[in-house]
Amino acid sequence: MQTLSVKVARKILEADDIVSFELRPVDDVQLPPFSAGSHVDVQLRSGLVRQYSLCNHSDETHRYVIGVLRDPLSRGGSTAMHELQEGDVMQISQPRNHFPLVHARRSLLFAGGIGITPILCMAEVLAHAGKNFDMHYCTRSPAKTAFRDRINNARFGRHVHFHFDDGDAAQKLDLELALADPDPDTHLYVCGPGGFIGYIADGARDRGWRDDQIHFEYFAAAQPDPATARSFDVKIASTGRIIHVPEDTSVTMALSNGGIDIPVSCEQGICGTCLTRIIEGEPDHRDHFLTDAEKARNDQFTPCCSRAKGGILVLDL
């Protein structure tokens, strides 16, 4: 995968435990273009790779801007990012987009916490194009609300509704009102913690919104229930070799322990880097990358987090 060398031009504290990074090319050339909803893979010195959404206007080719929450449950990625300083150089991927805007008469944007990053770029693009939209931004408190000044000073500020958990009832998100009109020409975009996405998406479906009107992006996969964990085997189709996958080990880790490495990135079923074709067997899909229709075909899965429903999976490796 081709990477880009970028340096941290600016590091800004945007809210409690949230910093933004302005990334510029080391050689001062134009960066590859991107569309609203895009993300880049960031390669950290520790060897970790993490995905971060681009939150500046997609017309900009001289810089990328990302926002990073310091997660107390971090596996090392957010901590390593927060330790970066202005002038540091890193490698990133070219932008990819699994959360694109679609043409619609009207758009409703919902952001929960750090989920504001792709939503912010969408708001910039929609406002620039003169489109009809509203944005609801839900956080715990004003102190934890990243990019608040930028939003208030933006041309689209009047389209944004802030909702704080610690505020009075009058300013909290009224989902019944926000989703009252399931207009077929309106599309919903949701990003944030899994519970927030479920609350908005399920609420929309309950009120008559179609699935193809509801678009969302997870920043982390839900943690599996240990009670449902079970061991199984994977068979390598090209060699016939069988590798056992213990109940507490991912398929990618079991393969790696057996000397078989496949590309991985997020390790949470978000990015699709490790997507692998299945020749035989039924997978237990636990990712947020494949669509429901793709999962129903059972011909591919994400071995970083997904498992097997039966005793064996035959993989096209």
**pLDDT at residue 248, as a whole number:** 86
Residues above pLDDT 90, as percent of the chain: 73
What residues pair up with 307 in beta bridges, in sequence order? 284
H or E element in which residue 297 lies:
helix 292-297
Torsion angle of alpha carbons 186, 190, 195, 198, nearest 10°? 30
**pLDDT at residue 122, as a whole number:** 96
Domain regions of the chain by residue span: 3-97, 106-218, 227-315
Q: What angle do CA 1, 42, 256 make, to 5 degrees?
A: 65
pLDDT band at 73 (very low <50, low <70, confident <90, very high): low
CB 91 within 8 Å of CB 120: no
Two tokens at 304?
A: 């970083």
**pLDDT at residue 35, as a whole number:** 96
List Cα–Cα distances, 48 to 23, 54, 81, 257, in angstroms.
Answer: 18, 19, 10, 18
What is the mean pLDDT of the segment spanning 89-116?
94
CATH 3.40.1190.20 fits domain 227-315: no
281 vs 273: which has the higher pLDDT: 281
Two tokens at 30?
A: 């134009």
Q: Which CATH number fits domain 3-97: 2.60.40.10, 2.40.50.140, 2.60.40.420, 2.40.30.10?
A: 2.40.30.10
239 has a pLDDT exceeding 80:
yes
- How far is the C-alpha of 316 from the C-alpha of 314, rounded, in Å? 7
H or E element in which residue 122 lies:
helix 116-128
Look up the CATH number of domain 106-218: 3.40.50.80
Taken as a whole, the chain contains a residue count of 317
Sheet holding 312-315, edge to edge: 242-245, 232-236, 312-315, 276-280, 300-301
